């Protein structure tokens, strides 16, 4: 598990980034810096109310933070948390690569054994084939 990320935090993180609409909001924040919910709502195909709900989930997961600037609330990405998330995802991907590699090796070994057994069976019983 990546340093600094606990299991409950992982659940919040995976839940937060699982939704394509939240990823779209997060992408906009990454590319445009600190912006308001209204600004975000003008660039996505869903309502400002939906944007606000997505922002709450992203903030709860620690991926973004907000600050007040005058009468406006601006949201921005928490770079350290996003880096942690990227590391956690890379680690998870590496674990799956190892698992898939093991499955592939097992399948290849079973296939090779089947070919050998089939060839031996043909040699012992040529009339049956």
Q: What mean pLDDT is predicted for residues 77-102?
A: 90
Q: What is the pLDDT of residue 6?
A: 47
pLDDT digits (tens, 9 = 90+) for 38-61: 999 999 999 999 999 999 999 999
Closest CA to 15 of 70, 68, 69, 58: 58
Residue-by-residue DSSP string for 26-43: HHHHHHH-SEEHHHHHTT
For 113-121, what is the mean pLDDT? 84
Spatial CA neighbour of 12 closest among 51, 55, 58, 54: 58
Q: Is 7-78 a domain of CATH 1.10.10.10? A: yes
Res 127: pLDDT: 67
Neighbours of 76 (CB within 10 A): 15
- Distance CA(32)–CA(75), nearest Å, equals 10
Please report the pLDDT score of residue 123 as a whole number: 78
The pLDDT value recorded for residue 7 is 46
The domain spans of the chain are 7-78, 82-128
pLDDT score of 1 = 43
Angle at 103 (CA atoms; ends 100, 107), nearest 5 degrees: 140
Mean pLDDT of 70-82: 94
Separation CA 110–CA 40 (nearest Å): 53
Q: Which of 33-37, 53-57, 92-96 shows the lowest per-residue confidence on average (mean pLDDT)? A: 92-96
Neighbour count for residue 43 (Cβ, 10 Å): 12
Compute the distance between CA of residue 54 and CA of residue 5 in angstroms, rounded to an integer: 21
């Amino acid at each position: 598990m990546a340093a600094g990320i606990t299991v409950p935090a992982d659940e919040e993180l995976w839940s937060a980034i699982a939704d394509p609409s939240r990823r779209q909001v997060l992408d906009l924040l990454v590319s445009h810096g600190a912006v308001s919910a209204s600004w975000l709502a003008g660039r996505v195909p869903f309502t400002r109310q939906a944007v606000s709900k997505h922002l709450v989930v992203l903030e709860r997961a620690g991926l973004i933070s907000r600050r007040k600037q005058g009468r406006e609330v601006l949201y921005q990405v928490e770079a350290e948390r996003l880096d942690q998330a990227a590391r956690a995802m890379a680690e998870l991907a590496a674990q799956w690569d190892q698992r898939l590699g093991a499955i592939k090796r097992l399948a290849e070994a079973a296939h090779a054994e089947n070919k050998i057994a089939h060839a031996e069976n043909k040699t012992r019983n040529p009339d049956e084939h």
